[in-house]
């Protein structure tokens, strides 16, 4: 009944202890989507997987003998580390939030090469972003992950009546509607300045490695994150667990 081994690129999404000596890893693989795998001996010896079971790295993993939905993790190698992420808590926190959001949104055992490519872009972009651009790069990454999962937030017109948002005006964001809601339609709990709305539109249209060009200031980034967080919490029914280290 054993399926042949499969080797694929993967991100480590979660790792939990299992019994005395093993761990169970949740991986987002390029070829098989999100899968769980038993990492035998990983708890006893960090060397067992060549020290490669590190978060935020692009790995090459071999998955073997699937049984009852669980693969066994075989050889694991590091394809690409992102050492720049470890240079600040803000970068680490942002990377953790993007991976957690992807983990929550992708189904199991369904390859999603576009989401995989988004993560491949987001982590290096965060690793190399200047400190003042980490928050906006994180926001752009989260917006891209949400949009790819089918949740394109609306910032150019009212989510209820579709009236265009007046340029240069402060607007209200409603996480239940997933977008801006005009005053006659009842508004929403999160305020977004005109600058934040401009920043959002720029972030949504730029590739992740060019988010600094959006010129989002710290105050706008904080408002944008408040809107994203409220939407994610509403949609998932819980907040993301990864803390926003150092985020504004
Ligand atoms: Zn309206």
Ligand 1 centroid to residue 183 C-alpha, Å: 7
In 4-133, alpha helices (H):
89-105, 113-128
pTM of the model: 0.92
Q: Say how far apart CA 190 and CA 93 lie, in whole Å.
A: 23
- Taking 80 as the threshold, does the pLDDT of residue 115 lie above it? yes
Please report the pLDDT score of residue 243 as a whole number. 62
pLDDT confidence band for 244 (50 / 70 / 90):
low
Ligand 1 centroid to residue 199 C-alpha, Å: 21
Ligand 1 centroid to residue 3 C-alpha, Å: 54
Do the strands 22-29 and 6-18 form a parallel or antiparallel pair, or are they unpaired? antiparallel
Ligand 1 centroid to residue 156 C-alpha, Å: 11
Q: Say how far apart CA 152 and CA 203 lie, in whole Å.
A: 13
Stretch 90-95: mean pLDDT, rounded? 93
Contacts of 84 (CB under 8 A, 6+ apart): 91, 124, 126, 127, 128
- Taking 80 as the threshold, does the pLDDT of residue 112 lie above it? yes
| Sole residue written with tokens 């490695």 | 209
- 49, HSE (Cβ side, Cα atoms, 13 Å): 28
List the strands of the sheet with 190-192, edge to edge: 179-180, 171-174, 190-192
Ligand 1 centroid to residue 173 C-alpha, Å: 11
Kindly report, residue by residue over 137-196, the tens digit of the pLDDT: 999 999 999 999 999 999 999 999 999 988 899 999 999 999 999 999 999 999 999 999
In the chain, alpha helices (H):
89-105, 113-128, 134-148, 194-205, 218-236
pLDDT confidence band for 4 (50 / 70 / 90):
confident
Q: Say how far apart CA 40 and CA 44 lie, in whole Å.
A: 9
Q: Say how far apart CA 27 and CA 221 lie, in whole Å.
A: 30
- Taking 50 as the threshold, does the pLDDT of residue 247 lie above it? no
Kindly report, residue by residue over 37-66, the tens digit of the pLDDT: 999 998 887 777 777 788 899 999 999 977
Ligand 1 centroid to residue 152 C-alpha, Å: 18
Ligand 1 centroid to residue 228 C-alpha, Å: 20
């Amino acid at each position: 009944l054993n399926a042949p081994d499969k080797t694929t690129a993967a991100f480590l999404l979660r790792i939990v202890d299992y019994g005395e000596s093993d761990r169970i890893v949740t991986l987002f693989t390029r070829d098989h989507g999100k899968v769980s795998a038993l990492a035998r001996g990983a708890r006893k010896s960090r060397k067992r997987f060549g020290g490669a079971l590190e978060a935020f790295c692009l790995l090459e993993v071999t998955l073997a003998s699937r049984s009852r939905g669980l693969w066994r993790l075989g050889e694991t190698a590091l394809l690409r580390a992102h050492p720049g992420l470890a240079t600040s808590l803000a970068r680490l926190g942002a990377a953790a939030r993007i991976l957690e959001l992807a983990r929550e949104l992708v189904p199991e055992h369904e390859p999603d090469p576009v989401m995989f490519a988004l993560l491949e872009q987001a982590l290096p972009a965060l690793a190399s972003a200047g400190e003042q651009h980490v928050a906006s790069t994180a926001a752009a990454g989260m917006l891209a992950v949400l949009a790819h999962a089918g949740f394109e937030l609306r910032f150019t017109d009212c989510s209820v009546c579709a009236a265009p948002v007046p340029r240069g005006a402060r607007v209200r964001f409603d996480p239940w509607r997933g977008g801006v809601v005009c005053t006659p339609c009842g508004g929403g709990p999160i305020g977004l300045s005109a600058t934040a709305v401009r920043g959002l539109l720029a972030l949504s249209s730029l590739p992740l490695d060019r988010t600094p060009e959006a010129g989002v200031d710290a105050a706008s980034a904080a408002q944008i994150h408040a809107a994203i967080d409220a939407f994610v919490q509403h949609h998932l029914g819980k907040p993301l667990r990864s803390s926003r280290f150092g985020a504004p």
